Amino acid sequence: MKNIFLLIILSASLIYSQITTGSIKGRVVAADNSPLEGVNVFIPGTNYGDATDKRGFFEIKNLPLGIYNIEFSLIGYKKEVKENINLNQASINLNIILYEAAFETKQIIVSAGKYQQNKDDLSVSTTVLKPEMISQKNITSFDDLLRYVPGVQMTMDQVSIRGSSGYSKGAGTRVLTAIDGVPFYSGDMGDIVWEMIPLQDIERIEVIKGPASSLYGSTAIGGVINIITKNASKNPFTNFRSYIGSYDKPSYDIWKWDDSYRAFYGLSLTHSNHYKNLGYTFSVRKFDDMSYKQNSYYKRYTAYSKINYLFEDSSNLSLLANYLYSMRGNYLYWKDSRNALVPKAGEENNKVRSNRLFLSLIYNKKFSNSFTTQFKSSYYRTKFDGIAIEFTTSTANIFRNELIGTFNFSDKFRLISGLEFSYTKVNSNIFKSPDYIGTGLYAQMEYNLTDDLILNAGARYDYLKLDTLKGANAITPRAGLNYKLANDLILRSSIGTGFRVPTPSEVFTSAGVGGGIDVIENPNLTYETSLSFETGFLYNYSKSLRFDAAFYQTEYNDFIEPNLIYTGDIQFINLPKARIQGLEAIIDWDFIPQMFKLNISYNYMWSRDIQREKAMKYRPRNVLYTNLSYNHYPFEAGIDFRYWSKIEEIDDALVEPPLNYVKDGNKRVPVYVADINAGFNFFIGSLPAKTFISLKNILNYNYVEFLGNIAPLRNITLSFELFY
């Protein structure tokens, strides 16, 4: 009996001890839901604490029951404090997101000078985008993201920075798009296939506004968009993302060509990890769109991989592979304004099939603190088949190599120099089958004249030979100044030259476009040049309020544009002189820091074809973008409004008698587009997850970016992401 009594006492004591202590455990992740290792987790004023492991997990054990404040801190991230945590049971679970300390570190970019620089030290206007925008706005193709960037204008799938481009059906580009600094444009058309860009693996996007030919060569006459990909995760990290959406029905019954709601959907799976010195990321993606326009559908599949290896001598190697298969309808122009979502007669079944493979290698070697080198090599194969009454095909192979040396002679003087070589071979029944050779040699120096004044200057020499055309030589110098007039006021100014050699498609295209109109070759087409000037300032009124403004001007000689000639055919020609002047202003205001942010940008642009005394085609004079965002865990939300004035000049010859090829093609209006999005972050067990709903063109406003093409109708998207 005595033993039974003692057993009861011991059992009661054990139960009592179990309910008087407990543990607080959980997981800490970054804003992109990747796990954070080494986060300090502690209870202020006590000795209780822990640090997160490589998967972000922590546990504080043997805590007396009670109410606690818990602090989470990691260098480079904003401290998070969870107050009044009531530990009244054996254990409770917390899931925490830490955000980068936005104003504690300077923004580093590499595109402006091909080496790491502080954004505030540049002499050119620059915008840096974070990848969070992709989820928030449900971006499915990279060009959709560019539609929200100040100073950038998208006309269908063709990008323009500060009016550098009009529209030429993808033939040629004046904005160099690169992945990790490696040029990413095709060898025949010179176009950019935005769907290939790995949205799931973007670290940041750097947009350099203004000519950059002195460093990047021919295609950078209008600016640079450099997509920086992520390094492989140090710990196992997997991301699954899916979305589904639908277009609204047309505003007018006469536009209806299908009684159903047209859907679009997609999914992607990405995995990243490290094994010793080897890091790797693999991703696959499928995305389909039934489209709101007849025969404008697409079905696309992509596969992406990136491998990094760190050698013992501090050198490193990066290998990237990207593949796209696409089948899409080929919608060119509407039938007429009463049948605005239906293609022209005879084009209902036209389609395009394409296969593209992009490979790149980057090797970095540090010889000393004062000298580093980088070698870049890439191969880009593109093949497309146009399936219609007339079968068209083109296969292009382009090889590029670049060697860069960076010399740090002192803390005040740096020199960057490089050598490039590229070779392109095209086999096509519409561009002939030309060869294309390009070489370039460049050097740029940066010198800190004083602690507050930075001078940079450089030049590039290029020689390019396009098949039977006479070889082109070009020297493109530039210079810039950055002056910190005060701690909160920075002035900048730059002047530079640019040039662009025509692509094979602009010189040799010979194909019919319908209606008795042909695109014909122009072997006399020559390269274009430019002289550009910019002056601007950055004013930090406070840590939460910034103003940025710039005046810019570019003079073009022999500007290349498609034109309807006297024979009634389309041909790329050189405009003798053109000029673009403008003013850009940007306001960034965190009026409730870390919660509410307002961004307003305005661009006024005056573009002129000097000879014809007209505005240049497809360039709006006024553009206004605004964004209001809310971010307070676990909620996120945003409102976007975009406006641009009515396009003044289009290809009038295509829409007017006697051709009248695009009926009612001169119908265009000022553009007013509003989007809203909202998201919620949560955990499924210990796995971070997020869901977003996005409603684009909420006013269902009907407009065109290019003649005879209605822009997307109102559409809604629901997305889901899981991280583990």
SS3 category, 604: strand
| Among 195, 213, 231, residue at a domain's last position | 213
402-445 pLDDT, tens digit each: 999 999 999 899 999 999 999 999 999 887 888 989 999 999 99
> CA 93 to CA 184: how far, in whole Å?
46
Structure tokens that stand for 637 in this block: 């939300």
ω into residue 502 within 30 of 0, thus cis?
A: no
DSSP 696: E
Structure tokens that stand for 472 in this block: 């082109």
Q: E strand or H helix at 547, and its extent?
A: strand 545-564
Q: Answer yes or no: is pLDDT of 244 > 90.
A: yes
Contact 317, 361 (CB under 8 A): yes
* Same domain (yes/no): 354, 500: yes
> CA 115 to CA 404: how far, in whole Å?
10
Structure tokens that stand for 609 in this block: 């074809």
Parent domain of 340: 214-723
What's residue 104's pLDDT?
A: 41
Let me know if residue 163 belongs to a domain.
Answer: yes
* Same domain (yes/no): 473, 554: yes
Structure tokens that stand for 656 in this block: 């007017």
Structure tokens that stand for 442 in this block: 């460049």
Let me know if residue 236 belongs to a domain.
Answer: yes
* Same domain (yes/no): 90, 219: no
* Same domain (yes/no): 250, 158: no
* Same domain (yes/no): 291, 389: yes
Sorted by sequence, the CB contacts under 8 Å of residue 174 that are 6+ apart come out as 160, 161, 164, 165, 219, 221, 222, 223, 500
* Same domain (yes/no): 342, 282: yes
SS3 category, 300: strand
> CA 465 to CA 484: how far, in whole Å?
43
Q: What is the mean pLDDT of residues 4-23?
A: 55
Q: How many domains does the chain have?
A: 3
> CA 382 to CA 184: how far, in whole Å?
11
Can you list the alpha helix ranges (DSSP code H) found in 475-576? 504-508
Q: What is the mean pLDDT of residues 683-709?
A: 93
What is the CATH classification number for the domain harbouring 34? 2.60.40.4130
CA triplet 292, 295, 299: central angle to 5 degrees?
A: 85
* Same domain (yes/no): 511, 656: yes
* Same domain (yes/no): 146, 270: no
71-82 pLDDT, tens digit each: 998 877 888 898
Q: Is 307 exposed, middle or buried (0-12, 13-18, 19+ CB in 10 A)?
A: middle
> CA 115 to CA 83: how far, in whole Å?
43
pLDDT-based confidence at residue 103 (cuts at 50, 70, 90): very low
Q: Answer yes or no: is pLDDT of 316 > 80.
A: yes
Contact 229, 197 (CB under 8 A): no
What is the secondary structure of 615-673 as a DSSP string? PPTT--SEEEEEEEEEEETTEEEEEEEEEEPPP----HHHHSTTT--STTTT----EEE
Identify which of 127, 140, 54 has the alpha carbon closest to the alpha carbon of residue 718.
140
* Same domain (yes/no): 239, 186: no
What is the CATH classification number for the domain harbouring 195? 2.170.130.10
Q: Answer yes or no: is pLDDT of 127 > 50.
A: yes
| Among 213, 240, 272, residue at a domain's last position | 213
* Same domain (yes/no): 197, 248: no
SS3 category, 155: strand
> CA 677 to CA 685: how far, in whole Å?
26
> CA 102 to CA 108: how far, in whole Å?
12
SS3 for 445-492 is: EEEECCCCEEEEEEEEEEEEEECCCCCEEEEEEEEEEEEEEECCEEEE
Q: How far is CA 116 from the centre of its chain?
A: 19
> CA 328 to CA 78: how far, in whole Å?
46
> CA 721 to CA 32: how far, in whole Å?
10
Contact 483, 532 (CB under 8 A): no
Write down the pTM of the prediction.
0.88
What is the CATH classification number for the domain harbouring 422? 2.40.170.20
Instruction: Residue 488: count other Cβ atoms within 10 Å of its Cβ.
Output: 13
What's residue 605's pLDDT?
A: 97
* Same domain (yes/no): 551, 567: yes
465-501 pLDDT, tens digit each: 888 888 889 999 999 999 999 989 999 999 999 988 8
* Same domain (yes/no): 490, 602: yes
> CA 432 to CA 165: how far, in whole Å?
25
pLDDT-based confidence at residue 392 (cuts at 50, 70, 90): confident
pLDDT-based confidence at residue 508 (cuts at 50, 70, 90): confident
Q: Answer yes or no: is pLDDT of 110 > 80.
A: no
Q: Answer yes or no: is pLDDT of 317 > 80.
A: yes
Q: Answer yes or no: is pLDDT of 86 > 70.
A: yes
Torsion of CA 207, 633, 601, 548, to 10 degrees: -70
ω into residue 658 within 30 of 0, thus cis?
A: yes
516-574 pLDDT, tens digit each: 567 788 888 888 999 999 999 999 999 899 999 999 999 999 988 888 776 667 788 88
| Among 64, 98, 132, residue at a domain's last position | 98
Q: What is the mean pLDDT of residues 619-635?
A: 94
Greatest CA separation for the chain: 117
Let me know if residue 103 belongs to a domain.
Answer: no
CA triplet 246, 251, 254: central angle to 5 degrees?
A: 110
What's residue 11's pLDDT?
A: 47
Sorted by sequence, the CB contacts under 8 Å of residue 704 that are 6+ apart come out as 667, 668, 669, 710, 711
> CA 420 to CA 221: how far, in whole Å?
17
Q: What is the mean pLDDT of residues 273-284?
A: 93
